[in-house]
Structure 1
Amino acid sequence: MTSDSEDRPRVIVHMASSVDGRIQSRRWGGIEVGSLYEEVHASLNGDAWMCGRITMQGYTRGQPTDDSDPTPVPRVSHIVNRAAPGYAIALDFGGRLHWGARNAIDGDHVVVVLSETVSDAHLNALRASGVSYIFGGRDTIDLAMALKTLRREFGIRRLLVEGGGKINGSFLAAGLVDELNLLLAPAVDGGSGVPALFDHEGQTTPGIRLKLRNCEALDNGFVRLRYDVIRDVDAP
């Protein structure tokens, strides 16, 4: 079994994919996964869930924004709510998402992970929105640092990482994935270049070994696979 770090959350990658590992569900011939995905999401008892910028755009679309205030802002964590029932973590290193009047998603308080190079105007807009934010580095994102900050500032112990594939791949390459919870759909995508479960764009990294914790047949042909990541110290 993997051992949990005391200074960062346990990271559980929670995804749905076709049998060949592709994650664009609209290409699965009309198979509906949303309600099942959310049901399993709830069963994992995460303190927070995290997605990348592209996924999070769906929650911010059409929201008004005002990035016109250039008042200097120190590059330190801005914490609005430490007692939320849950947290929606947006990886938006370049500061491109505009939340407007929205600071929660289905009751989960929004926390944005940013680069220290984002503009003062953007930070002021986030403050005006009531959104919390932390920093994950300056020129390149340091996921380990961001996780430690989430643990320290918000008490997050279990984090569900829910894509897309590039975000999942970055966590995998950084050695930060502890568990994989996969809903396998009864479909084959077959497309070349279609986003995959793990799509790391950086330097090639060694694969990881998994230990099967549970395999469960679900309704409508879905299979739930739950794995722990085997660390070197866990290997026999």
Structure 2
Amino acid sequence: MKRPTIILNMFASVDGRITTGPNRNVAEWTELGIDAGANDVTHRLYDELDCEALISGSESLMVYGQHSIQLEHEIYWPKKSKAYIVFDGRGRVDWGQSEGLMVVTRENVSKSYIQQLENKQIPYIQAGMDEHIDVKRALEMLYEQGFQRIGLTGGGTINGVFLRQGLIDEISIVYAPVALGGKQTPTIFDSDDILDPKTITQLELIQVKPLLTQLVWVHYLVKHKI
């Protein structure tokens, strides 16, 4: 299987939470100044990590759309990124912004959703006939279109899918100086529980680096099982 290298790149609390709570936009940390610049720094790292595109799940966009945050200063947008690729298997998003967008959905998504994409001239690929996108096939198709290194931006659900399927090659986390806790607060990886410790994803440290005055960047290589 030929696919792009996938680099998970996120910012999180020290306990791995990626929002304040369910259905909350993490940009509120930035708005309040308590992320210590983690949001902006993380977006800049996509360029340092040579990401040619970014992948996000539709659940993140749905939350952001319902919990809008207006920031005083715009967050840096990666200059090397040629596409913002959103996995929307259920065809839930009514797209208002199409510039630079690419959509990944199922082959059996509704015809009306495909019609929307075509009417708005949004490029798309279809992979999988079951309830969920065939993520491995989707990545093969993205590779065939020339994408070799892609940043995975979350949320926790899509991150968890990629983790469980062994599709993440590097993990880059910027830790903000906050701790949240919470039993339902989204985490970096929201997925099914592991029952066998032999299936735990093991990592190899590439580097640890302090950034600005309050942040710590940790960068790992994923040790894939042969």
Matched residue type, 1:55: S
Three-state SS of the structure 2 residue aligned to 1:126 is helix
CA shift digits 1:88-107 (9 cap, x unpaired): 1001001111224x322xxx
Query: What are the residue-to-residue correspondences of 1:125-164 with 2, within 5 Å?
Result: 125-139=116-130, 140-152=132-144, 154-164=145-155
Q: Is the contact made by 1:52 and 1:164 (CA closer than 8 Å) also made in structure 2?
A: yes
Query: What are the residue-to-residue correspondences of 1:89-100 with 2, within 5 Å?
Result: 89-100=85-96
CA shift digits 1:126-164 (9 cap, x unpaired): 011110111120113211100000111x20000100000
- CA offset at residue 30 of structure 1? 4.1
Cα 1:59–1:150 shift into 2, 3 Å: farther
Q: Is the contact made by 1:60 and 1:98 (CA closer than 8 Å) also made in structure 2?
A: no
Structure 2 stretches of 5 or more lacking a match?
A: 20-25, 67-79
Q: Is the contact made by 2:207 and 2:220 (CA closer than 8 Å) also made in structure 1?
A: yes
Task: Determine the C-alpha separation between the residues in 1 that align with 2:118 and 2:193.
Answer: 33
Task: Determine the C-alpha separation between the residues in 1 that align with 2:10 and 2:81.
Answer: 22
**How high is the sequence identity, in percent, across the aligned residues?**
32
Of 41, 45, 49 in structure 2, the residue corresponding to residue 44 of structure 1 is: 49
1:21 aligns with 2:26: no
| Structure 1 counterpart of 2:172 | 181
Task: Determine the C-alpha separation between the residues in 1 that align with 2:81 and 2:154.
Answer: 22
- CA offset at residue 57 of structure 1? 3.7
Q: Is the contact made by 1:27 and 1:189 (CA closer than 8 Å) also made in structure 2?
A: no
| Structure 2 counterpart of 1:170 | 161
Cα 1:202–1:128 shift into 2, 3 Å: farther
Q: Is the contact made by 1:166 and 1:201 (CA closer than 8 Å) also made in structure 2?
A: no
| Structure 2 counterpart of 1:11 | 6
TM-score of the aligned structures, taking structure 2 as reference length: 0.81
Three-state SS of the structure 1 residue aligned to 2:161 is helix
1:103 aligns with 2:98: yes
Matched residue type, 1:226: H
Structure 1 stretches of 5 or more lacking a match?
A: 62-83
Task: Determine the C-alpha separation between the residues in 2 that align with 1:58 and 1:86.
Answer: 24
Q: Over alpha carbons, which structure has the higher Rg?
A: 1
Task: Determine the C-alpha separation between the residues in 1 that align with 2:121 and 2:193.
Answer: 34
Task: Determine the C-alpha separation between the residues in 2 that align with 1:212 and 1:158.
Answer: 19
Three-state SS of the structure 2 residue aligned to 1:220 is coil
| Structure 2 counterpart of 1:211 | 204
Over aligned residues, Cα RMSD in angstroms? 2.4
Matched residue type, 2:155: G
